[in-house]
Chain A
Amino acid sequence: DQQVKQNSPSLSVQEGRISILNCDYTNSMFDYFLWYKKYPAEGPTFLISISSIKDKNEDGRFTVFLNKSAKHLSLHIVPSQPGDSAVYFCAASDHDKVIFGPGTSLSVIP
């Protein structure tokens, strides 16, 4: 039973364009949502988060949007850079447990 879903296993984007990574969840009790980025041979690193009481959080080139009614969140990267090529994990927290999605592999083409 996947509570956090990332339905696109991979995504390719041209350098300078917008990357949009999507995430859906099923548990309405999640109170915090996060995005982590992972390079090969490294552990995931925290990127950006959003509380369930907000609908948008922005940090530089990264913006996360939350649509609670649709149980959907997205990560926008503008402009995309080759160094953004990595696997992006969506994660959701319900106080005790943190559930990660399966990840989306982003390739930014120069």
Chain B
Amino acid sequence: DSGVTQTPKHLITATGQRVTLRCSPRSGDLSVYWYQQSLDQGLQFLIQYYNGEERAKGNILERFSAQQFPDLHSELNLSSLELGDSALYFCASSPYGMGAYGYTFGSGTRLTVV
């Protein structure tokens, strides 16, 4: 157990639907990062939050949004889902606001869009 909890572990939904992925960071970590891993692709950085504020944005589609709540858990909302959104979505947390040192990843949410 890495200390980063992602729910649900698996999600199957239809095209056009909306889903919410949840991440609880490791205790004491202020930063949350979201990554997408599609088939044969590396980890694509989506977005970072630090202590409730958006810190950095990557290749996140407009159909996707995220937020970090006062208790530091984060949610990634994916709407108008397409088949190509099927992927593994990873959340990572870190005590720091920048850099990759100290990242702890969760085990991911596997999203299948049918």
Contact = CB atoms under 8 A, between A and B. Distances in A.
Chain B contact residues, majority secondary structure: loop
Contact of A98 (B41, B45, B107): B45
Given A95-B98, A96-B98, A43 B4 contact: yes
Nearest to A100: B43
A40 B56 CA distance: 28
Interface in A1-57: 4, 6, 31-32, 34, 36, 41-46, 49
Interface residues of B, number: 27
B42 A32 contact: no
Interface string B49-92: 00000011010000000000000000000000000000000101
Contacts of A95: 98-99
Contacts of B106: 43
Contacts of A103: 42-43
A109 interface: no
Given A97-B45, A97-B58, A98-B33, A44 B105 contact: yes
Interface of A: 4, 6, 31-32, 34, 36, 41-46, 49, 89, 91-93, 95-103
6 contacts: A43-B90, A44-B90, A89-B43, A96-B98, A97-B58, A99-B45
